Structure 1
């Protein structure tokens, strides 16, 4: 399982979440405490928003703990919205194109989890991406497909419903052609103004997600694991829920309620 962290609010330097804390994302890349494997050394990536609509993107195959460019980037770049990810592969190759976050137009996306038996139906799943969008399919992961499916499902007009629909498509493929657990997911996606998070599983093991408001209403921090061990003030996102973060606050919604409201 991977680890990730995201932020939206007043501009801050990215090292305050990614590299500097005692249990920062870099520390979690070799000593995670709330996932199946403590080691997440199959690549690292950061997406951040600045003066333009499209995010900046840095990804590489180095383990986060041995990537000097990551540290230099995070201590230099100040952003009001960013996300970072350390990867533990569930089967696909260690390559830059398979590293998170993924970006398309103004959206960025990252994921922790798995689609059961994905290798058995990857070709079928790839065929679900339209010809117009397929040039953005640069890697081989189920995570990238989740992102592209969400774009196909209308991420621009309905960010939450589109992501639920994307999960439903891959879950259905896993049930028909794959293995259990059919889907485990903690996913985060943003457009520079809003941050959305989903936590879901077809079994009782949903990847962890926590969130917290920063001091003096600085902004929202959303993480797989708190950046300081034992730190108080973090709220766990319930499984089967969505959270939408913005300057106006946070809105939590059960996934089932989101689908029912849209219907």
Structure 2
């Protein structure tokens, strides 16, 4: 006898098939979990890489700022040396000028420096190169003064302050440098002007004077100014001067 339809009873899944399903689920879960871990590690590495790049850029900029500020010191120092070497020496003074400078030095002034270099302190200088720029300020303050009967010696503390900058970078670098500048003023004794040529010479005669007279000047380790012959434009020594 045939029934119009027959019931098919599904058998219960075997233990092996259950294990397979569980294994597939576990693999998916582990894969997602590992993906999250690696994704998090990737973001962390990108974050720390960004921090490292920022630190590296800051160190690089700090080094460049140091270079820029040091260049400012060198530029300011060479500017001062050029003023000292290019100024006419010795500077001839009237008795009235001597008295004014003497009083100025007693009052801690820097008029003697201004008279020597031909500019009013503080001195300013600036320079740039590519994306770097630097500027310096040179100022003078009286350290001590030694008075004699006919002349005085003023020693000035020379301080150079420099600031370095980088384009599109808000921070700045600073450096400082100190030196001493000694100036004799008055009726000077001959030993204070050891290389004085007391005669008026033409420019071409001055160029060959040292070579023709076999004169060799040795630079001093203590004095930063280069040794040079001093030519007077008029006779400074009295005719009855003793050797």
Q: What is the TM-score with the length of structure 1 in the denominator?
A: 0.26
Bigger relative contact order (CA 8 A; separation at least 6): 1
Q: Name the structure with the higher strand share.
A: 1
Q: Name the structure with the higher helix share.
A: 2
Bigger Cα Rg? 2
